[in-house]
A and B are shown apart, each in its own frame.
Chain A
């Protein structure tokens, strides 16, 4: 009986892991992809380096907004989260305006049936209060999370993923994101 319980427990844990783990459920993302920063750290630009590696069809704008783009022309919106005081300063935008910009984009994407991916590419270094706030504000729109594993040591992203029942894909090194992209975009 004890053994059975242990086996059932293990199966349960594995199932939860799969439930929050991407393409096991047949979840796929499509191109073209709109990429923008959510917080103006260099993460979004690093995302484009990986995107090039897997030959993803994407458009990147640091300050992409509903005023400048018709989001419905894309199939996927990737919001690369990372609040940077210097980046926000250089972009001449404050954190409130930045959150408003990316939330509006996510809302528009949801209305148009565009999948929204929240990505943390810079790991633990982008887990400050401002970055976490951005994630929290965007979470209701997320269809998937791509997260550098050291950013989720406390289960911050896992919690959002499990609550919403959307996949979470983690990767150890920045360059490993290419495997995630290849898998989700079928590259």
Chain B
């Protein structure tokens, strides 16, 4: 009898111990750390770390889990980008951005009496999803656990359910009309999901179960691909099985930049790694550490640098498989000197003339210095303004394991609920909307079959002396780079801990906005100075506002202690194994 009791006790203890994790808005641990926008997803990652998995294993499990607990922000029908640095020195940038289906074109839309805008919330608004392929590449490159074990937590969450939080409820409420029309099965018997209710997704559990049994390839070449094609044909979508078969996630070395002695590893185009580095390069010319986060001059300098970075982004960032653009010159220190020169410390740019400040990065492609280039005079290139208002959707998570492997992973279905077209428990993305709204001569984001659209996501790993220091990233549409730059400045220049960097009020420098959008929390004198002395037109948002993104960060301190912090703007969490 004693033996039985002892055995049962041991089993219970072992079971309890095997799932011992700590989850909270901010967590410190030396055993590894996951920071994600949702506590269930963060905990899934921490449990994988606790089971002996590494950061890549945890990232795969979190990616699947986020598709369950935040189906409106990412999932199998979406896409994304991951930057991975392994403790052995290997570095990967996995581009699993979606691609335009081959049948998609302005002409095809026009023949149907459609525009990209009109097609946005229909199956025709969907690009070929990349998340499953990205997961597969990550698994092949750095995982240690069987894929089946990494998908199982998501299946459990989908089947057993979880408690709906305020973000889930609010997001569903905000898009209720759209989802009622296109994704009725997602709703709670036709109604909005309320905070505190239990959400289950048996359809998604079944889809994930099929992927677990048949392998990820079923999504691209197998029976699931057949069903996607059938659905798209029935519902007038562009995606065909041939598009799925052609789809590849692309693995590269991450792009590298520096900021005040730190090494930054960022994504390639068509996402915004080069823009992030370019803005920081510009800021490196200022003595920001001598200022404070709420100094109006610091706000002005950063905001103006962001505007310049965004003007340039529109000219120099696109799918590198389709356009040969000088994005490396754009992110060079020499080019940044010219952007530094363009900022007027006593007067904000006139928003009506933003595009007059388009820089010319081409002459810097051969490594010329700014003195040489400017002496030969600048030439400008045409810029194209997109008036697309991007939603604060998307999701980012950061992971570091006890061995120092790190993953920065951002995934999205573009807008919240994407196209709102619901299929087998997930939503199809509406990435097509990130191409130019109509054909524009000379534009670098004209809709082309097979091409990846441009977006602003930017998962980043920051190292110091070869060791991971911070893993950062955020959702937030057109505000992503603004929030990313402020995070980097807050962490590096103002020495803030990660939770404070998240909490600090944010602002935006983005050419689509002609005003300076800024969160409440800055001193009134700062706001008055920005408006009355520097000429900014202010638009003050309440605090905290999801509009400014939802970063989830991990820092690794000198003593090896990891601190994870979840976004306060989206109820994020950090989670760590307790062993």
Binding site for B on A (CB under 8 A): 41-42, 45-46, 49, 84, 86, 122-123, 125, 174-175
Please name all residues of chain A whose beta carbon is closer than 8 Å to the beta carbon of B174 when the two chains form the complex: 42, 84, 86
Q: Which of A42, A122, A174, A175 has the most CB of B within 10 A?
A: A42
Does B191 lie at the interface of the complex (its beta carbon under 8 Å from any beta carbon of A)?
yes
Whether the Cβ atoms of B176 and A175 lie closer than 8 Å is: no
Whether the Cβ atoms of B190 and A49 lie closer than 8 Å is: yes
Closest to A86 in B: B174
Whether the Cβ atoms of B192 and A46 lie closer than 8 Å is: yes
Whether the Cβ atoms of B190 and A42 lie closer than 8 Å is: no
Knowing that A46-B176, A49-B191 are A-B contacts, what are 19 other residue pairs whose CB atoms are under 8 Å apart, sorted by A's residue number?
A41-B173, A42-B173, A42-B177, A45-B177, A46-B190, A46-B191, A46-B192, A49-B180, A49-B190, A84-B173, A84-B174, A122-B173, A122-B192, A125-B194, A174-B191, A174-B192, A174-B194, A175-B189, A175-B191
* Complex alpha-carbon distance, A179 and B192, angstroms: 19
Closest to B195 in A: A125
Does B571 lie at the interface of the complex (its beta carbon under 8 Å from any beta carbon of A)?
no
CB distance from A32 to the nearest CB of B (A): 22
Whether the Cβ atoms of A42 and B192 lie closer than 8 Å is: yes
CB distance from B517 to the nearest CB of A (A): 14
CB distance from A170 to the nearest CB of B (A): 16
* Complex alpha-carbon distance, A49 and B191, angstroms: 8
CB distance from A94 to the nearest CB of B (A): 16
Q: Which of B169, B173, B174, B177 has the most CB of A within 10 A?
A: B173
The contact sample of 19 A-B pairs, CB cut-off 8 A, is: A41-B173, A42-B173, A42-B176, A42-B177, A42-B192, A45-B176, A45-B177, A45-B180, A46-B176, A46-B191, A49-B191, A84-B174, A86-B174, A122-B173, A125-B194, A125-B195, A174-B188, A174-B191, A175-B189
Closest to A121 in B: B191
CB distance from A129 to the nearest CB of B (A): 13
Closest to B170 in A: A125
Closest to A87 in B: B174
Please name all residues of chain B whose beta carbon is closer than 8 Å to the beta carbon of A49 when the two chains form the complex: 180, 190-191
Q: Which parts of B137-177 form the interface with A (CB within 8 Å)?
A: 169, 173-174, 176-177
Please name all residues of chain A whose beta carbon is closer than 8 Å to the beta carbon of B177 when the two chains form the complex: 42, 45
* Complex alpha-carbon distance, A84 and B195, angstroms: 17
Please name all residues of chain A whose beta carbon is closer than 8 Å to the beta carbon of B173 when the two chains form the complex: 41-42, 84, 122, 125
Please name all residues of chain B whose beta carbon is closer than 8 Å to the beta carbon of A86 when the two chains form the complex: 174
Please name all residues of chain B whose beta carbon is closer than 8 Å to the beta carbon of A84 when the two chains form the complex: 173-174
CB distance from B576 to the nearest CB of A (A): 33
CB distance from A128 to the nearest CB of B (A): 12
* Complex alpha-carbon distance, A79 and B296, angstroms: 46
Please name all residues of chain B whose beta carbon is closer than 8 Å to the beta carbon of A175 when the two chains form the complex: 189, 191
Cβ-Cβ contact count across A and B, 8 Å cutoff: 32
* Complex alpha-carbon distance, A125 and B197, angstroms: 14
Please name all residues of chain B whose beta carbon is closer than 8 Å to the beta carbon of A42 when the two chains form the complex: 173-174, 176-177, 192
Q: Which of B180, B190, B191, B192 has the most CB of A within 10 A?
A: B191
* Complex alpha-carbon distance, A42 and B194, angstroms: 12
Whether the Cβ atoms of B180 and A125 lie closer than 8 Å is: no
Please name all residues of chain A whose beta carbon is closer than 8 Å to the beta carbon of B176 when the two chains form the complex: 42, 45-46
CB distance from A39 to the nearest CB of B (A): 12
* Complex alpha-carbon distance, A122 and B169, angstroms: 11
CB distance from A25 to the nearest CB of B (A): 30
Closest to B189 in A: A175
CB distance from B405 to the nearest CB of A (A): 40
Please name all residues of chain B whose beta carbon is closer than 8 Å to the beta carbon of A41 when the two chains form the complex: 173
Q: Which parts of B183-210 form the interface with A (CB within 8 Å)?
A: 188-192, 194-195
Whether the Cβ atoms of B194 and A123 lie closer than 8 Å is: yes
* Complex alpha-carbon distance, A84 and B175, angstroms: 12
Closest to A62 in B: B177
CB distance from B268 to the nearest CB of A (A): 34
* Complex alpha-carbon distance, A86 and B174, angstroms: 7
* Complex alpha-carbon distance, A45 and B173, angstroms: 11
* Complex alpha-carbon distance, A99 and B104, angstroms: 45
* Complex alpha-carbon distance, A174 and B174, angstroms: 17
CB distance from B345 to the nearest CB of A (A): 35
* Complex alpha-carbon distance, A30 and B180, angstroms: 27
Please name all residues of chain A whose beta carbon is closer than 8 Å to the beta carbon of B191 when the two chains form the complex: 46, 49, 174-175
Closest to A126 in B: B173
* Complex alpha-carbon distance, A86 and B169, angstroms: 14
* Complex alpha-carbon distance, A175 and B190, angstroms: 9
* Complex alpha-carbon distance, A174 and B177, angstroms: 16
* Complex alpha-carbon distance, A89 and B409, angstroms: 32
CB distance from A43 to the nearest CB of B (A): 9
CB distance from A167 to the nearest CB of B (A): 24
* Complex alpha-carbon distance, A45 and B190, angstroms: 10
Q: Nearest 5 pairs between A and B by C-beta? A: A42-B176, A49-B190, A174-B191, A42-B173, A46-B191
* Complex alpha-carbon distance, A46 and B180, angstroms: 9
Please name all residues of chain A whose beta carbon is closer than 8 Å to the beta carbon of B192 when the two chains form the complex: 42, 46, 122, 174
Please name all residues of chain B whose beta carbon is closer than 8 Å to the beta carbon of A46 when the two chains form the complex: 176, 190-192
* Complex alpha-carbon distance, A122 and B194, angstroms: 9
CB distance from B172 to the nearest CB of A (A): 9
* Complex alpha-carbon distance, A175 and B174, angstroms: 19
* Complex alpha-carbon distance, A79 and B289, angstroms: 55
Please name all residues of chain B whose beta carbon is closer than 8 Å to the beta carbon of A123 when the two chains form the complex: 194
CB distance from A46 to the nearest CB of B (A): 5
* Complex alpha-carbon distance, A175 and B188, angstroms: 9
Q: Which parts of B4-20 form the interface with A (CB within 8 Å)?
A: none
* Complex alpha-carbon distance, A41 and B176, angstroms: 9
Please name all residues of chain B whose beta carbon is closer than 8 Å to the beta carbon of A174 when the two chains form the complex: 188, 191-192, 194
* Complex alpha-carbon distance, A46 and B195, angstroms: 16
* Complex alpha-carbon distance, A123 and B191, angstroms: 13
Please name all residues of chain A whose beta carbon is closer than 8 Å to the beta carbon of B189 when the two chains form the complex: 175
* Complex alpha-carbon distance, A41 and B174, angstroms: 8
Closest to B197 in A: A173
* Complex alpha-carbon distance, A182 and B225, angstroms: 45
* Complex alpha-carbon distance, A120 and B520, angstroms: 31
* Complex alpha-carbon distance, A125 and B167, angstroms: 13
* Complex alpha-carbon distance, A42 and B187, angstroms: 13
CB distance from B571 to the nearest CB of A (A): 15
* Complex alpha-carbon distance, A89 and B23, angstroms: 36
* Complex alpha-carbon distance, A64 and B194, angstroms: 27
* Complex alpha-carbon distance, A45 and B175, angstroms: 11
